[in-house]
Structure 1
Amino acid sequence: MNDFTRWIDLEGAVNVRDLGGLATVDGGTTRFGRVYRSDNLQGLTERDVELLVGELRLRHVIDLRSGTEVFLEGPGPLTAVPEISIHHLTLFAEGGRHTDVEADRVDRIDADRVLPWQERNEEDLAELKVTGFYYNYLRDRPDSVLAALRAMAHDDGAAVVHCAAGKDRTGVVCALALEVAGATREAIVTDYVATGDRLEGILARLRSSATYRDDLDSRPADDHRPRRKYIEQFLRVLDDRFGGPLPWLASQGWTESDAGALRSRLRD
């Protein structure tokens, strides 16, 4: 890990970072070395696996990709490591032909139905539709969302959560985890947009796979950039409709015991 950032430099993945070091509302910070987030882990090298499993004590992989993605990509290197538990928890809100690489397309959801707000202008419409895809993850697969957060709370080693780009599905689940841990909203937004720093490398990796290439090549690279207004608007939806992410989680069966376990993992 780079001592001056939260990034973890691997040979076979480019969007890997620690959820530690983020500011919390009580003046603390989230804990390093407990939960990581990543793009696709299919290309990890032997050296990467040694670092993750040996030095960083990785024990849980939370794979948010669809069943189709997992089938098309085949087993990744970490599936052969006996110390690793794989939690395949698809969020199943897919915008591309095989994947959710196109989760920020603006022509695939009914924003009026998914996000029932009053006035909106054309300038805001694309933003609302992106946010709608994020809300669909929660609406369509709350079981996977809660299971992913519970897997992060296991105390026998570190966990990594990933999808394809480590941007949309991973971004939503990590935002919820950080909210449970008491991170500030600004810290949550900062973590979300950090993926943009590695966007070129992420897209280059995904274009090397036939699973993702067609979806990616259909739009300019900058269309895939995570923008702070997307995650801000998503969180605002949960605030407006449920009183916040935590009440939404509670409405789906998330307990105080669950919250306490995850906080103990992510808090100093």
Structure 2
Amino acid sequence: MNRLIPFQGTHNFRDMGGYRTADGRKVKHGLFFRSDELFALSEQDIRDFQGLNIRTIVDYRSEYEVQKKPDPIFPQVNHLHVQAITSGSLSMMNMPDQTENEDQQEHFIIGLLKSGFFKQYRSDTMMLDLYRNLVFNNPAYQRLMEMIQLENNLGLLQHCTAGKDRTGVGAALILMALGVSEADIMEDYLLTNETMREINGQILHQLAGHVDEDDLKNIEHMLGIKEEYMEAVFKSVKDKYGDYDSYLAAQFDLTLSKREALQKLCLE
């Protein structure tokens, strides 16, 4: 099934519908979308976007990212900016919350490269730390899980810059609450490696002659996603709470009765 919605100005815009749950129902199409940044949407993209009947946009990016590449304004859409990674969390992971570069067209990886980040830290280790921390006491995901319980908020689009990490975890939590299996959550997550393959390949090709092999490997880790990152989410949740039911109830007040209502709304 081709989940990708082919906009000119995005690379990773997808409909999350169609995944099966343990009881045989499936997630309705047109309710949940995930994407990379929307800054480069063309006029035709914007017309096509409006045809999707999206009512809510949840933008996980930092204040700096939003100012640098603001989303288009869509009439009749509730646009929420809820930062998924705080400056404090970035600091703990030795990740800069912004770079000195102000070029709107420049990829964020270039800014990190110029800042010297890849000379000092291993991005795969940093990414594992990020995923382990994102799923606990996160106001952005708490707001997300509130929003999805109200029919008037759907269709809902969640996005960040590349639509892979912050958005990947948010998407996983929605599917988890709906009763989708770990295997299908992982499938949805790993699709980013396919949708972003061309653009990431272009970036690596452009950099290949200008950085050393260690930097290039670090950059490749940062651009892509790995099963072990989402597995870190699954393991962290189960290590702390034992099961997903307990986690969803404790972190988001998604009791079994609330989840049943959510599933009735979003499954068919």
Same-fold call, TM > 0.5?
Answer: yes
The CA distance in 2 between the partners of 1:22 and 1:83, in whole Å, is 28
| 1:40 matches 2:33 | no
Match of 1:231 in 2: 230
Contact 1:18 1:36 in 2 (8 A): yes
Alignment RMSD (CA, Å)? 3.0
How many Å apart are 1:229 and its aligned residue? 2.3
* TM-score with structure 2 setting the length: 0.76
Q: State the Cα distance separating 1:131 from its structure 2 match.
A: 3.0
Gaps of 5+ in 2: 99-107, 113-117, 205-214
Which one of 216, 219, 222 corresponds to residue 220 of structure 2?
222
Please name the residue that 2:71 is paired with.
Answer: 76
Runs of 4+ in 1 over 6 A off after TM superposition: 204-207
Cα deviation, residue 206, structure 1: 8.8
Letter in 2 for 1:263: Q
Distance, in Å, in 2 between the alignment partners of 1:131 and 1:179 is 20
Task: Determine the C-alpha separation between the residues in 2 that align with 1:264 and 1:48.
Answer: 32
Q: Distance in 1 between matches of 2:262 and 2:63?
A: 27
Q: 1:264 to 1:206 in 2, by over 3 A?
A: farther
Take 1:182 and 1:13, find their aligned partners in 2: how far apart are those partners?
29
TM-score (norm 1): 0.76
Partners of 1:32 and 1:72 in 2: how far apart?
Answer: 32
One-letter amino acid of the counterpart of residue 168, structure 1? D
- The C-alpha deviation readout for 1:74-130, integer Å capped at 9, x for no partner, is x321xx22211111111124364336978xx8x769xxxxxxxxxxxxxxxx87753
**Structure 2: distance between partners of 1:205 and 1:83:** 36
Report the Cα offset of residue 246 of structure 1. Answer: 3.5
Q: How many residues matched?
A: 233
Equivalent residue, structure 2, for 1:65: 61
Could you say which residue in structure 1 is the equivalent of 2:208? none
Give, in whole Å, the separation in 2 of the partners of 1:260 and 1:50: 35
Give the % identical residues: 26
Letter paired with 1:163? C
Does the 8 A contact of 2:177 with 2:248 survive in 1? Answer: no
SS of 1:171 mapped into structure 2: helix
Cα separation, 1, equivalents of 2:265 and 2:32 = 8
2:139 to 138, 143, 153: 143
Is the Cα contact below 8 Å between 1:150 and 1:258 reproduced in 2?
A: no
Match of 1:267, as an amino acid?
A: L
Q: Tell me which of 163, 186, 199 is aligned to 1:189.
A: 186
8 Å CA contact 1:6–1:21 kept in 2: the answer is no
Deviation at 1:162, TM superposition (A): 0.5
Equivalent runs, 1:113-128 vs 2, <5 Å: none
- Establish whether residue 90 from structure 1 lines up as the match of residue 86 from structure 2: no
Change (3 A) 1:43 1:262: farther
Whether the 8 Å CA contact 2:10–2:37 is kept in 1: the answer is yes
Match of 1:267 in 2: 267
CA distance in 2 between partners of 1:39 and 1:266 (Å): 23
Give 1:190 shift: 0.2
Tell me the alpha carbon deviations over residues 192-250 of structure 1, each in whole angstroms, 9 at most, x when there is no partner: 0000002234548999xxxxxxxxxx544531321122212321221121123332232
Q: Distance in 1 between matches of 2:248 and 2:199?
A: 30
- Aligned partner of 2:169 in structure 1 is 172
Match of 1:163 in 2: 160
Instruction: Name the SS of the counterpart of 1:252 in structure 2.
Output: helix
Partner of 2:131: 134
1:29 partner SS: coil
